[in-house]
Amino acid sequence: MSDEMTELKMRLEEAFAAATKLYQARGFQRRIGFGRKPALVNVDLANAWTRPGNPFSCDDIDEQIIPGVQQLLEACRANGHLVVHVTTCYQNTDRNDPHTDMGLWHHKIPVEAVDQADTELWAIDSRIAPIEGEHVLIKKRASAFHGTYLAGYLRSAGIDTILVTGVTATACVRATICDGLADGFRPIAVKECIGDRIPGAVDWNLFDIDAKFADVVPVDQCVDYLNTVKRWND
């Protein structure tokens, strides 16, 4: 770790300590807890985000996020838990066409880079590729819930808890968690399995998410939950 990153982390830890005192004094940082029936929701762990050389490429993918998600998938598959892989792409990437399915987002970020015609870009990373029975959902906006059928799909399966992984902490993961809570699900942010492109962005957003919208839980604890939740419910 560089000296700059070490200093940044130290400053963030100081800020988190001060903010924790304020939050707890005002009743924030409560626990939502695990529910009775979980689903794993992997957000934008597709090649445009997980492989180098793309505008959306993120950090810590190979070293941390993919190995963590592999652990979660193994536990889900062994225990029959629902898995949803979420990706993003667009049919019409012409920025001059007012009918584009990019909406207005292309005025802020280069979403035109993820053209639906280039299936390799928006395909889920092969290291965590869906197996038979696992759902792949295409979204057009930041949240996996906004404008999609995800909430209805989860409710029809009796899901009450969503374990959320993916990228980015500042945008699609955060928006998915916030909307998941708003739609009545218990959001669990899997700590080691969420990434971003900007130093410090993950730490800050996970701290803030944990204070307001979800429980941030280590991957090992999430794996243990996935392996034992059926026993708890018997």
pLDDT by residue (tens digit) across 74-93? 999 999 999 999 999 999 99
Strand partners, 139: 88
Q: Catalytic residue among 172, 178, 193, 222, which?
A: 172
pLDDT by residue (tens digit) across 111-170? 999 999 999 999 999 999 999 999 999 999 999 999 999 999 999 999 999 999 999 999
pLDDT by residue (tens digit) across 29-76? 899 999 999 999 999 999 999 999 999 999 999 999 999 999 999 999
- Whether 172 is catalytic: yes
* DSSP secondary structure string for all residues of 125-158: PGGG---TT-EEEEESSSSSSTTSSHHHHHHHTT
Residue 233 vs residues 34, 120, 228: alpha-carbon distances, Å: 12, 40, 9
pTM, full prediction: 0.93
pLDDT at 26: 87
